[in-house]
Structure 1
Amino acid sequence: MSAAKRVQQWATFARTWHVFDCKWQDPYESANIIKKYLMGLHKPIYHPLNDCGDVVVCINSRNIALRGDDWRQRAYFHHTGYPGGASWTLAWELHNKDPTLIIKKAVYRAMKGNLQRRHTMERLFIYPGEHIPAEVQQNVSNQIRQIRRVPERLDHIPEEEVKNFPKVMDYPENYILK
């Protein structure tokens, strides 16, 4: 086997560390993408009984964006295991308690039918902010593209760029806005 083929084979079977920025992303759409990398669905050697998935590091989980009125209407179930231990928590309450739980629950739900999903979830690291510990950051070698483009705030755009932006029309000086 040539050296190039050996490296290609090693790269196929190695666990790659990916980073995914959750800022302004829908956790349920993101979960389907994250699931593919965790389970190894993007690799040519994938098999349901083969554990060939990669590691995914999610950052900015504090800044996720749920659709419509989901912050007030979506509820998450939790059971302590004791009699009468069932409870439902609204999304905004759960997010205030722990900003990483909504992403974690979305990815876990997306892997429904995977017999190894508890073991697979151990390769998912979620951080509420942009800070990643140094021992994790040194392993990251790939970035997963975001689904939605994060909008840029007008107060963050330089004033010179705003003034030089092409205009469709200029209002006359005697024009009155009502």
Structure 2
Amino acid sequence: MDTLSYKTISANKETAQKEWVVIDATDQVVGRLGSKVAKLLRGKYKASFTPHVDCGDNVIIINADKVKFTGNKWNDKVYLSYTGYPGGQREITPAALMKKPNGEEKLLKRVVKGMLPKNRLGAKLLGNLYVYAGSEHKHEAQSPKTIDINSLK
């Protein structure tokens, strides 16, 4: 058998098979949900995964206001940010973040962003994530399919 005839297929922007998926976040643990969503955004569940190409799916998360943390992480976990000025380190808990306007979106995007590559590709992949607090979303025209996040590894 001539093994030199096999070519490694590498996906590019034109040949990537991108889909729209809906995930219901009701009673899901934030970190476990975030890691599976990051894998979907990256395209790691696909056979045609290519590390340097956006070949992942567009993910819509609904019911983001019903997520949960294990233990007492709602009040004990601290997210740090820095303003760039001396003494400008800020900290916020997930409970305080959820009380802000669009807090559900900010919380889940922050969690998923930490699990994506820290480069231009990671920033582009984060743009493929759409988070909604209720059960309604505005992407019906894309005819997304609903998947069970618990069935993914």
Code of the aligned partner of 1:39: R
Residue 112 of structure 1 and its aligned partner are, at CA, apart by 4.4
Q: What is aligned with 1:21?
A: 24
Q: What is aligned with 1:102?
A: 107
Q: What is aligned with 1:71?
A: 74
Length-normalised TM-score, structure 1: 0.69
Residue 115 of structure 1 and its aligned partner are, at CA, apart by 5.7
CA distance in 1, matches of 2:55, 2:113: 17
Residue 118 of structure 1 and its aligned partner are, at CA, apart by 0.8
Instruction: Tell me how many residue pairs correspond in the alignment.
Output: 135
Q: Whose radius of gyration is greater, 1 or 2? A: 1
Say whether 1:111 aligns with 2:84.
Answer: no
Query: Aligned to 1:49, which of 23, 48, 52?
Result: 52
CA distance in 1, matches of 2:124, 2:16: 18
8 Å contact 1:19–1:140 — kept in the other structure? no
SS of residue paired to 1:33: helix
CA distance in 1, matches of 2:42, 2:148: 17
Residue 49 of structure 1 and its aligned partner are, at CA, apart by 1.0
Structure 1 residue ranges (4+ consecutive) displaced by more than 4 angstroms after TM superposition: 112-115
8 Å contact 2:53–2:121 — kept in the other structure? no
Residue 77 of structure 1 and its aligned partner are, at CA, apart by 1.3
Q: Within 5 Å, which residues of 2 pair with 1:1-178? A: 13-97=16-100, 98-112=103-117, 116-133=121-138, 136-147=139-150
Code of the aligned partner of 2:110: K
CA distance in 2, matches of 1:71, 1:24: 14
Instruction: Give the unaligned 5+ runs of structure 1.
Output: 1-11, 149-178
Identity %: 26
CA distance in 2, matches of 1:140, 1:110: 27
Code of the aligned partner of 1:131: E
1:2-57 Cα distance to aligned partner (Å, 9 max, x none): xxxxxxxxxx7331000011111011101111111101111111111122111000
CA distance in 1, matches of 2:72, 2:32: 16
8 Å contact 1:15–1:55 — kept in the other structure? yes
CA distance in 2, matches of 1:40, 1:24: 24
Residue 113 of structure 1 and its aligned partner are, at CA, apart by 5.5
